[in-house]
A and B are shown apart, each in its own frame.
Chain A
Amino acid sequence: MEVAIKAINLTKRYGNFTAVDHINFEVYYGEVFGFLGPNGAGKTTTIKMLTTVTRPTEGTAIINGYDVIKQPAKVRESIGVVPQEYTADEDLTGWENLMLIAALYGIPKREARERAAELLDMVELSYAADRKVETYSGGMRRRLEIAMGLINRPAILFLDEPTLGLDAQTRAAIWDYVYRLRRQYGTTIFMTTHYLEEADQYAERVAIIDHGKILAIGTPKELKEKVGGDVITIEVNGDVNTARKVIEGIDGVSGVTVNGNTITFKVRNGNTAAPPIILEALNKLSIRATSITIKEPTMDEVFLEFTGRRLRDEEGSSEEFMRFRRTVARARR
């Protein structure tokens, strides 16, 4: 596969602080690539360097065959960007914003009109085309931003936290658009997110970034397997210790723990090969499994494994606090 984005020792320092630290990765044409990391990990700085907004301190990146340092103008023609902030001019209508951006890309008027109409239709904003952007809701603005990022039919679309602060329904709709445009135009998509489920569900490959360094790259499935694969829990009727020995002897099994009649362990390729082999082995020794559950590791566990901390910590704390307050309030009644 051909390489759409190639980061080579890409580095950004602000004074003594290294925001992005010698990162290397490749994104292939037609891919949906996710950049996962907590706030302040270096995601936005990376996007800014890849989109020529900020100059790297060291290293470079090749975008659509062009160098971000040596050929920034060529890079800008190849890409569409949906930054984290809202970029539409609030004083203009959605239509006027699209036409402005089209003019900045040098798209002839007639073609710009066709594309603007088509894109507004795709993001279901045709009905609001002539309304000032200041009257748009958050979801509408996000959709307009995506349309603006696509007006030049970019080879690569960069989305910086495209669903930040949106409700679940709007988030799903945004992803629907992203996938639809890839189907329609074959656009390569590079997106950052700190929603684990999004990276898991929508990105074909994910890079985990923290403290400016890439800690792991792979498909969500590969990353989960690196963590140690699926977690299997078996409840047995019979000699637990014999069962344990049998399970420990099977290839790919690790981290076996016993609790009463329940044996928990991790296994690679758990969904396919391991469980039947285990059940057969136990059966030969007349040990019956009364229940078996197979659990895929979550992206949360993947993240914990690679970064040593949970991504949810920051968000979770306020939720826990609310739960705590509710408990206190109930106790007082």
Chain B
Amino acid sequence: MGMAVKLHPLHGLWALTNRELAKWYKAPVILIISLIQPIVWLAFFGKSMNFATMFTSGLNIPGLNIPKQVIDEIASEVLKANFGTTDYFSFLAVGMLSFITLFTSLQSGMSIVWDRRLGGVLSKLLTTPVPRGGNIVMAKVLNSMIRSLVQATIVLIIAMLLGMSLNPSLNPLDILGAYAALALMSMGFASLFVTLALRSTSWESQMAIMNLLNMPLMFASNSFYPVKSMPWWLKPIAYVNPLTYVNDINRQLLLGVTGYNLLLDFTYLIAFAAIFSIIGIVLSWRYLSEA
């Protein structure tokens, strides 16, 4: 009675991804809640932490009669030297794109724990002809990448509405590059967290790991401030943190500021994504078959 259908290696990947996505777009409340954090950062923090006005509004040193033009000039040079642009809000907005991507990717570990908690979802998948290692895990990673990019797009649009100014000579290739950077980071982090969750049955421990890691990862990167303003002991962490490279790429492509070598940035991200997804696939082969 067996079926004559020839199953290709990626068979089931899209069906499984779609299953995860369906849960997401059917529950818009969760989508909205997850967008609140980056938007609060942008609207509250980004709009208030206005370095440009700090320098220019009412800066008057008694005894010195510095012309306003000089202060403005100094201010813009200081800002440029630190942030690469005089527009801190746009600097932060790029950081928020990687922020939402990071948060979404960290959640991917939860969904595999959830599958296990529900009891049989995972054990059912293991009896179907889906190539077990790769596709079950990669569906979660792919789902995380798609969600990240959609949410990053919403954050980008809101940031633009709030006054983010993009590079005037922006071309479609730049946008493609920015999305590629976000997608690679999402792939790496989602693989890492799905792998960590493979043997876990505790929903709470996954939450704990997520909460433990998200803030340090954000602050040990150039999302809010440049690496060069960090203390010496934090810099090495920032330099291995993939967020630093995503932000660097996106500020160069979207804002037109100067940064590191783009080729090296992408190489680093590709290596990050490739290494962790391979580890995830290999370990899932081992762990899932004995489930």
Footprint of B on A, CB under 8 Å?
51-55, 64, 73-74, 76-79, 81, 83-92, 96, 100-101, 103-107, 148, 152-155
> Measured between C-beta atoms, what is the minimum distance from A141 to chain B in Å?
11
In Å, the complex CA distance between A88 and B11 comes to 20
Contact yes or no, B128 A105, CB < 8 A:
yes
Q: Mark B1-34, 1 if CB is under 8 A from A, else 0.
A: 1110101000110111011001100100000000
In Å, the complex CA distance between A100 and B26 comes to 16
Contact yes or no, B12 A152, CB < 8 A:
no
Contact yes or no, B119 A86, CB < 8 A:
yes
In Å, the complex CA distance between A108 and B122 comes to 23
A-B contact pairs, 11 of them (CB 8 A): A51-B127, A53-B127, A54-B290, A77-B2, A78-B1, A79-B127, A86-B118, A89-B118, A103-B15, A106-B3, A153-B1
In Å, the complex CA distance between A72 and B125 comes to 13
Q: Which of the residues B5, B15, B129, B290 comes within 8 Å of A76, measured between beta carbons?
A: B129
Contact yes or no, A83 B128, CB < 8 A:
no
Contact yes or no, A107 B119, CB < 8 A:
no
Contact yes or no, B124 A87, CB < 8 A:
yes
In Å, the complex CA distance between A79 and B15 comes to 20
Q: Which of the residues A53, A77, A86, A88 comes within 8 Å of B129, measured between beta carbons?
A: A77
Answer yes or no: B171 CB below 8 A from chain A CBs. Answer: no
Contact yes or no, B124 A101, CB < 8 A:
yes
In Å, the complex CA distance between A76 and B1 comes to 12
Q: Which of the residues B1, B12, B290 comes within 8 Å of A155, measured between beta carbons?
A: B1
Contact yes or no, B12 A103, CB < 8 A:
yes
Q: Which residue of A lies closest to B19 (CB)?
A: A100
Answer yes or no: B146 CB below 8 A from chain A CBs. Answer: no
Q: Which residue of B lies closest to A154 (CB)?
A: B1
> Measured between C-beta atoms, what is the minimum distance from B129 to chain A in Å?
4
Contact yes or no, A105 B129, CB < 8 A:
yes
Q: Which residue of A lies closest to B115 (CB)?
A: A89
Known A55-B290, A106-B11: A85·B119 in contact at CB below 8 Å: yes
Contact yes or no, A87 B128, CB < 8 A:
no
In Å, the complex CA distance between A251 and B210 comes to 76
Q: Mark B211-236, 1 if CB is under 8 A from A, else 0.
A: 00000000000000000000000000
Contact yes or no, A87 B123, CB < 8 A:
yes
Q: Which residue of B lies closest to A96 (CB)?
A: B22
In Å, the complex CA distance between A128 and B278 comes to 41
Chain B residues with Cβ under 8 A from A89's Cβ?
19, 118, 121
> Measured between C-beta atoms, what is the minimum distance from A45 to chain B in Å?
12
> Measured between C-beta atoms, what is the minimum distance from B26 to chain A in Å?
8
In Å, the complex CA distance between A87 and B115 comes to 9
Known A73-B129, A104-B12, A104-B125: A85·B290 in contact at CB below 8 Å: no
Answer yes or no: B130 CB below 8 A from chain A CBs. Answer: yes
Known A86-B118, A92-B23, A152-B3: A55·B289 in contact at CB below 8 Å: yes
Answer yes or no: B173 CB below 8 A from chain A CBs. Answer: no
Q: Which residue of A lies closest to B114 (CB)?
A: A91
> Measured between C-beta atoms, what is the minimum distance from A295 to chain B in Å?
41
A53-B289, A87-B120 known, 6 other contacts, Cβ within 8 Å: A76-B127, A81-B124, A83-B120, A100-B16, A105-B5, A106-B11
Chain A contact residues: helix, strand, loop or mixed: loop
Q: Mark B176-189, 1 if CB is under 8 A from A, else 0.
A: 00000000000000
Answer yes or no: B291 CB below 8 A from chain A CBs. Answer: yes
Q: Which of the residues B14, B119, B290, B291 comes within 8 Å of A87, measured between beta carbons?
A: B119
In Å, the complex CA distance between A105 and B125 comes to 10
Contact yes or no, B123 A92, CB < 8 A:
no
> Measured between C-beta atoms, what is the minimum distance from A41 to chain B in Å?
19
Answer yes or no: B158 CB below 8 A from chain A CBs. Answer: no
Which has the most chain A C-beta neighbours within 10 Å: B12, B26, B118, B290? B118
In Å, the complex CA distance between A86 and B118 comes to 8
Answer yes or no: B237 CB below 8 A from chain A CBs. Answer: no
In Å, the complex CA distance between A92 and B119 comes to 15
Chain A residues with Cβ under 8 A from B129's Cβ?
73, 76-77, 104-106
Contact yes or no, B3 A104, CB < 8 A:
no
Answer yes or no: B75 CB below 8 A from chain A CBs. Answer: no
Contact yes or no, A83 B124, CB < 8 A:
yes
> Measured between C-beta atoms, what is the minimum distance from B127 to chain A in Å?
4
Q: Which of the residues A64, A91, A92, A106 comes within 8 Å of B5, measured between beta carbons?
A: A106
Chain B residues with Cβ under 8 A from A104's Cβ?
11-12, 15-16, 125, 128-130
Contact yes or no, A78 B2, CB < 8 A:
yes
> Measured between C-beta atoms, what is the minimum distance from B147 to chain A in Å?
15
Answer yes or no: B283 CB below 8 A from chain A CBs. Answer: no
Contact yes or no, B128 A86, CB < 8 A:
no
In Å, the complex CA distance between A55 and B127 comes to 12
Q: Which residue of B lies closest to A73 (CB)?
A: B129
Answer yes or no: B126 CB below 8 A from chain A CBs. Answer: yes
In Å, the complex CA distance between A78 and B128 comes to 10
Q: Which residue of B lies closest to A65 (CB)?
A: B2
In Å, the complex CA distance between A51 and B125 comes to 11
Chain B residues with Cβ under 8 A from A54's Cβ?
289-290
In Å, the complex CA distance between A196 and B206 comes to 42
> Measured between C-beta atoms, what is the minimum distance from A301 to chain B in Å?
35
Known A55-B290, A103-B15: A81·B1 in contact at CB below 8 Å: no
In Å, the complex CA distance between A52 and B5 comes to 20
Known A55-B289, A152-B3: A101·B128 in contact at CB below 8 Å: yes
Known A100-B19, A154-B1: A53·B126 in contact at CB below 8 Å: yes
In Å, the complex CA distance between A103 and B139 comes to 14
> Measured between C-beta atoms, what is the minimum distance from B143 to chain A in Å?
13
Chain A residues with Cβ under 8 A from B26's Cβ?
91
